[in-house]
Each structure stands twice: as structure tokens, then as C-alpha cells.
Amino acid sequence: HATPRKRLITCGLRFEAGKSLLFGALGRIDFLEGPAVLANWFCSNGVKVHYRKTEGVEDYIYEKAGTQFLYPPTDFDEDFDKRWEWDEDEVLIRGDTWREAVCDVGIAGLGWMSFTVDGEIKIRVVRPQNIRIYKRPPLLPYEAVYGVARYSGTRWHNNYKARYSSVEKRIQHNRLQHGHRDQEGPFPDFEQTRLRKWRGFIQ
């Protein structure tokens, strides 16, 4: 179910120390230290993404794995914590701009996150043993201009996309005009305004 069958889904969030993003029950990214950042997650619609405190996260995963709140896996197994051996790695991320993401960090076959950072942060990536993680230049570096989504505990809501479809089209158009990494020049005024807004939101 982690293999995309439809268009990939994504949402932005304010990611801060002491929080974790769960890709179902089979992978997670913990924010260990550093200033709050803008992050966007990307995955298949067959992966339930959950955002919560890192404290107690392992107990939460064991309790909810295989339910409608946390999948894959799709079936609960009482031996879930014994079936899997886990690997974890710490990753250091440095950036100096709110204009674009500095990197993607992902779990092979499950999903990835892009990070828009002004400073230095440390994260921890936890996944089943022998599953590869990667750090690469961002595939979609300008997702931060879409804003952050509100998470209700079970669903993600991005009112910006719902309410401003005309601005959405303008952003798409200006990405083609200004968004290529090999081009230089200022962002459109409305994108600059949104970036200032999110920078203030982070601080």
C-alpha cells in the first residue's frame, strides 16, 4: 500500500523540536534539536501520516499500528514489536534561506520530507532494518510558499489551497518563470509576502 496508485499527496507543517512525523507504523522522523522549520511531507495515499510528540511515540505506534489511525501495516499483529528490527540514523541539516528547501530526507519505499531551514537542525530517521534512507537535493524546493496545513489529529487541512485557487495558478505560472534552480532573480511579490508571513510564523 506504500506504492503510489494515485498522485502523491503532500502537506506543509511547522516542524519543531520534540515532535515526530510518522509514516504509518513503519517509519518516522524525529526532530531532535534546533529552531522550528518549515517542512513538507510527500507519500502515497496508502500511507497514514501522523504528527505528534516524540515522547511516548513508540507506545503509540504499538497501540495504533494496523488500525485506521496508523498504516501500513494494514493488519494489527500482537507481535508487531518483535517482528521488526529497527535502524535509526541522525541527520544534520543546515540552511540559510526561507526561499526554498535545502534538502529532502526520505525512507525508501515509504515517503520523504523536504526542509526549509534558516539555521541548523538535527533529526533522527527510524525505519525497519536494512531499509535505506537518503538525503538529496530537493525535488520540489518551493512547496513552502503553499503554507502550512492544520492537523486535527486524524486529517490534514490546507485552507490556503482550498480558498485561493486563483493564486495557486499564479504560483504555478511563476514557478515556471522564476522557480528553476538555474535561474536567478527575485520571487514574485505575492510569494515574497507569503515567505515573510511564514518566517514570522516560525519565529
Q: What is the pLDDT of residue 102?
A: 95
166: pLDDT strictly greater than 70: no
Element (H, E) at 176: helix 165-178
Cα 123 off chain centre by: 12
- Distance between CA atoms of residues 41 and 105, nearest Å: 10
Say what the pTM is: 0.75
At residue 150 the predicted structure's pLDDT band, cuts being 50, 70 and 90, is confident
- Distance between CA atoms of residues 27 and 29, nearest Å: 7
Q: What is the pLDDT of residue 143?
A: 82
Q: Is 105 left (phi over 0), alpha (psi -120 to 50) or beta?
A: beta
Contacting residues for 21 by C-beta, under 8 A, at least 6 apart: 13, 15, 28, 29, 39, 41, 49, 50, 51, 113
Q: What is the pLDDT of residue 192?
A: 54
pLDDT, one tens digit per residue, over 38-86 is: 999 998 888 889 999 999 999 998 888 888 888 888 776 666 666 678 9
174: pLDDT strictly greater than 50: yes
Task: Please give the C-alpha separations between residue 1 and each of 15, 94, 159, in angstroms, as whole numbers.
Answer: 26, 33, 27
Cell of 167: 493564486
Q: What is the pLDDT of residue 185?
A: 43
Lowest mean per-residue pLDDT among 18-22, 105-109, 176-180, 197-201 = 197-201
Q: In a 10 Å sphere around its CB, with 0-12 CB exposed, 13-18 middle and 19+ buried, how is residue 66 labelled?
A: middle
Q: Rank 2-6, 111-115, 169-173 by mean pLDDT and report only the highest.
A: 111-115
pLDDT, one tens digit per residue, over 19-49 is: 999 999 999 999 999 999 999 999 888 888 9
- The answer to whether 187 touches 180, Cβ cutoff 8 Å, is no
